[in-house]
Chain A
């Protein structure tokens, strides 16, 4: 396993990738991507077992589904830097004829992606289906998924949440990125959701909190706890508290950078706060 320092170095590089990707095409979603950089790095560098020799069925591997597909920059950066496709391909993000579509898709055959996402609220159901397929295949590996907190406003999630508990889908760890922000403002002002812990528990899930979702060691510890609670008849939810825009000071604690790219000057400031570690693409 890589050291914490190695994971932190990679995270810094991933932040640079995110900023440069969205800056180049003057579009994309840096805020949520930056907030989840540590989580993706931990997931792909430490937590999950998988092969980069990509196979859609993923039998004998842990699977990951990104439901809030707009944070594609962090997904693409970590997939590339984990060996799924050449890092140089990050240069093609959102360009015509690219495999790196604005929102992730299987349509262009990008290794590492197993479902299209972007229209929100669909990933939990897909993850449950994949988890049920694992049970049918006697495959003891786990299914991981990530969802935005605002995304839980989509009703389909609650169909899925009810199903997973009612049917003991206990090989699933669904993580909610609890950054408290969405396009129009804070989740509390757009549509208050109350206690997500209370809601998931009321539906019959096991809930694990990760209070500092931007700290690698906290994530590893929390996800290990989540993993230890699988196989016990209940699906597991991780409430991952993150700061949107983490690592770039002027992007933090605001929804303003949900779907806005930095200009040249802002890019330079952001990059200066995240010095190159593993080499830019």
Chain B
């Protein structure tokens, strides 16, 4: 199978910070807002370089979202930054009315998504945010897989006119996609050709999917691996073309199986080509404290879980 090299593990939130820094230099309409988490969101550089375009709103996420909507009136492109839980669930109605329904060009950028912020526990982990955001009409939902892709996605969403939810995380994870890649919203990335099973993964689980594919290859199973960085709009064609070859699919995400990537894929399959599917996702549960690796193991969100799901789904063909 095609080999991918980890050029040095990095956190995806730092990819966001680097993308925002670049946008600060290239697009004078980009402004940034943060709710008392500048360091955690890696927004320090943007703030230092463009203090006049940076808004520290304090611990007041609802006001932050409303202000972002207002800043678009006058041609600004606001990027809001806080943890994923406080970016979505806490301010759902503000996003719904002032941003999505009002059609405002706001980029909601959310770190510490999923289980992998670890020790802080369930109050700070969110496994429902993809569902919350993808249900909003007109909202684009993106969950890039590594540092390089998060940086590219951050830059790309400034060019998209409309609301976007960009989800990323805290832990250092393998950085393996090309530096300075072009990020195309809604376009899946084929990472490995395969014929026995399709694995579509998003976010931190893309690298785990590649690890699973390697292990499956040693058992003589040929896995196709697709990186679905954009959950909405979903690249239906990439999924349907792949299952036409393989006849079964595993979806993998750091999110609840209700409302996540897996359900979106299931809808595409059910309405076009019913196909056996296994979900690697949390099973309608909250998270808890622990190290990221312990949590991903306990909740079945790693390469071993993906590998097992692939073997299960192949038996259902």
> Which A residues are within 8 Å of any B CB, using their own CB?
56-59, 63, 65, 105-107, 114-119, 121-134, 136-137, 139, 155-156, 159-160, 162-163, 166-167
Contacts and interface: CB of A to CB of B under 8 A. Distances in A.
A238 B65 CA distance: 24
Nearest to B103: A106
A127 B78 CA distance: 15
Contacts, number: 121
Across the A-B interface, give the 6 residue pairs with the lowest CB-CB distance, nearest first: A129-B70, A125-B66, A133-B74, A129-B67, A159-B60, A159-B63
Given A159-B62, A162-B58, A58 B101 contact: no
Contact of A115 (B57, B60, B78, B102): B102
A59 B66 contact: no
5 contacts: A107-B102, A114-B73, A130-B73, A136-B52, A159-B57
A123 B93 CA distance: 13
B70 A128 contact: yes
B62 A105 contact: no
Name B's interface SS.
Answer: helix
B63 A163 contact: yes
Interface of B: 31, 52-53, 55, 57-58, 60, 62-76, 78, 93-94, 96-98, 101-104
B51 to A, nearest CB: 12
Pick from B69, B70, B73, B93 the residue with the most CB of A within 10 Å.
B70
Given A57-B73, A58-B74, A136 B53 contact: yes
Given A105-B102, A130-B73, 4 more contacts: A105-B101, A119-B97, A132-B67, A132-B71
B73 A133 contact: yes
B66 A63 contact: no
A167 B71 CA distance: 15
Given A116-B97, A122-B97, A122-B98, A58 B62 contact: no
A104 B148 CA distance: 42
A242 B73 CA distance: 30
Contact of B66 (A107, A139, A156, A162): A156
Given A116-B97, A163-B58, A125 B76 contact: no
B97 A118 contact: yes
B285 to A, nearest CB: 30
Contacts of A119: 93, 96-97
A63 to B, nearest CB: 7
